[in-house]
Structure 1
Amino acid sequence: MSDWLFFIEVSLAGLGSGALLSLTALAFVLIYKATQVVNLAVGEILMLGGYLFFAFAAGMGLSPWVAIPLAVIGGGIVGGIVERGIIRPMLGEAAISVFMVTVGLGSVLVGLVELIWGTDPRSLPNFIATAPLFLGEAYVSRKIAVAFVVAGIVVTVFLVLFRFWRGGVALRATATDQAAAYSCGINVPGVFSLAWIIGCATAAGAGVLLGAISGISPTMGIFGLSALVVVIVGGLDSILGALVGGLALGLIQSWTGTYLGGEYTSVVTFSLLIVALMIRPYGLFGTHEIERL
């Protein structure tokens, strides 16, 4: 009985981690869905969100409930600046060129964070209660439970918005056919900016939640690599894939780290990536595009 209880607790922790992976993967999906750009700097935007919260809450002494929206807005502003100043001038260039620009952007963000706040890990001001939470007899960290609930709400909201909101319809139309979207009067450059702003704001919010659980450091952007595995397995253009893939990978990583050892987590994660690319390169829920050359 105790073994089963321990397994349930490990699984609940994995679902909480998976929810954060889903939220981060959503940032990848939103940007790729509208602009066909794989933004490898999402992990560093996530890191920046955590540090912005730290700056507002600890540095300026603002209430955490004021600092959270400011950090999210800050991430969105960075996304808008990057899209307008760096990505848009590169439209029409080779995809690998744009991809490498996002790699360089990630390194620049890490360098700026280290210059401003240093390289030492830091703890965020507490804004989530630490009292134990029990589901039946199973213990789950309250911070992880809150992260799971918030991530689930955000992903659900995006699913609804993409289906019914006019801006969401414009995003879907642009993702499907940019030329047709132009002909229908959709402001495609505006849609690009909107996607980058919302995607980076989402990543910054995920950074605040992740920082509340495990603290912040300039290396926390590595979390984005696991989220990239999620979107490749789930589908680069699928919000549902980000949700399902994130929860599944969170469970797998939690089980692996607990029963095999933490050193095997990366091995299993990226082995899963290789297998997924070999079997279903467009993802479990991604669009299977067939092009005639």
Structure 2
Amino acid sequence: MNFELLFQLLLNGLIVGTLYGVVAMCFVLIYKSTQIVNFAQGEFLLIGAWVCYAFLVEMHMPFWLGFIFTLLFMMAFGVVLQMIVLRPMIGEPIISVIMVTIGLSIFFQAATKWIFGATTATYPQVFETRSVNLLGMQIETAYIMSFVISLFIMAGFYWFFKYSKLGLAMRATAFDQQVAQSLGISVKTVFAMSWAISALVSGVAGIVIGMVNGVSSGLSVIGIKVFPAVILGGLDSIVGAIVGGVIIGLLENSAEFVDGQYLHWGNLFSIAPFYVLIIILCIKPYGLFGTKDIERI
């Protein structure tokens, strides 16, 4: 057994898994505050990656300035999207709102192809060294940056929901919207901020992945790949999203090792998370950390 390759893949899986966990938290954030599963989450990554690329290549901004402007754009994008498209859907059946997010996904895919083209674009060189040697293995500098940023975002989410006034308002709204409104909490503001934060964090993930793999319409597939992590951890659990993301990241790379060394199927890397998704739904329908919905008749 090639232990060096296995360790390399597991380390990559841990780093990518933390990024998956961050994107999964965006799913959970929107679901907890609005009870909506956002199937356009992958397109948020794609838009963030393309907007940052435009700032860097078309406007010739330094990376740090383009990065900041992209985050500001994504926050504004999330707020405007919620106000114009999703706020009028308040009170409508959940399935109708979910279909709207699917429609947004298709629309954003078409719009980005129309504006930026369908070919893969490469980011300009951001770091002086493309990879660094860690324990004898070459790790992409962008992945190390993503790992640090992911940990920072996770810590920020913890502080935000535990100590900030808006975070506590979001938790109250997630628990019961009518009670939160009766206590003076603006549910509309909570909804807008949840979409803004989700778009911002997704934009960060899109930039990091775009720096490593380039930017193309295929980047939005990350949203579907992360969905098993959301279900695995629990659709309403922030901690579950982190744990689920790490598990899926490790599982993907472990499957790649087994497939490459022994099975030679060629696609186990892509389908392994969805096998786990089916198994988890059969055993624990609410995920590892999800809240059981108990109804009494």
2:281 to 268, 277, 281: 277
Report the aligned-residue RMSD: 1.4
CA contact (8 A) 1:26 1:202 kept: no
Q: How does 1:1-293 map to 2 (within 5 A)?
A: 3-261=2-260, 262-293=266-297
Q: TM-score, normalised by structure 1?
A: 0.96
Note the C-alpha offset of 1:232: 0.9
CA contact (8 A) 1:234 1:286 kept: yes
| Length, aligned pairs only | 292
Q: Deviations over 1:73-131 (max 9, x none)?
A: 22222211121111111111111111110011011111111111110011112223435
Tell me how far apart the structure 2 counterparts of residues 74 and 9 of structure 1 sit (CA, whole Å). Answer: 36
The one-letter code sitting in structure 1 at the alignment partner of 2:144 is A
The 3-state SS of whatever aligns with 1:260 is helix
With over 3 angstroms needed to count, the CA separation of the structure-2 counterparts of 1:77 and 1:160, relative to structure 1, is same
The one-letter code sitting in structure 1 at the alignment partner of 2:47 is L
Tell me how far apart the structure 2 counterparts of residues 209 and 24 of structure 1 sit (CA, whole Å). Answer: 12
Tell me how far apart the structure 2 counterparts of residues 137 and 63 of structure 1 sit (CA, whole Å). Answer: 31
Tell me how far apart the structure 1 counterparts of residues 100 and 75 of structure 2 sit (CA, whole Å). Answer: 18
CA contact (8 A) 1:40 1:102 kept: yes
CA contact (8 A) 1:64 1:125 kept: no
Q: Deviations over 1:141-167 (max 9, x none)?
A: 222122111111111210121111111
Give the unaligned 5+ runs of structure 2: 261-265
The one-letter code sitting in structure 2 at the alignment partner of 1:59 is E
Note the C-alpha offset of 1:182: 0.8
With over 3 angstroms needed to count, the CA separation of the structure-2 counterparts of 1:227 and 1:129, relative to structure 1, is farther
Tell me how far apart the structure 1 counterparts of residues 129 and 267 of structure 2 sit (CA, whole Å). Answer: 28
Tell me how far apart the structure 2 counterparts of residues 289 and 162 of structure 1 sit (CA, whole Å). Answer: 22
67-76 or 199-208, which deviates more: 67-76
Task: Give % identity.
Answer: 36
The one-letter code sitting in structure 2 at the alignment partner of 1:267 is I
The 3-state SS of whatever aligns with 2:294 is coil
CA contact (8 A) 1:44 1:221 kept: yes
Tell me how far apart the structure 2 counterparts of residues 132 and 75 of structure 1 sit (CA, whole Å). Answer: 28
Tell me how far apart the structure 2 counterparts of residues 131 and 124 of structure 1 sit (CA, whole Å). Answer: 12
The 3-state SS of whatever aligns with 1:61 is coil
The 3-state SS of whatever aligns with 1:171 is helix
The 3-state SS of whatever aligns with 1:133 is strand
CA contact (8 A) 1:129 1:142 kept: no
The 3-state SS of whatever aligns with 2:217 is coil
CA contact (8 A) 1:34 1:171 kept: yes
Note the C-alpha offset of 1:218: 1.2
Deviant stretches of 4+, over 4 Å? none
Tell me how far apart the structure 2 counterparts of residues 131 and 267 of structure 1 sit (CA, whole Å). Answer: 29
The 3-state SS of whatever aligns with 2:235 is coil
Q: Deviations over 1:48-71 (max 9, x none)?
A: 000000111101111110111211
The one-letter code sitting in structure 2 at the alignment partner of 1:277 is L
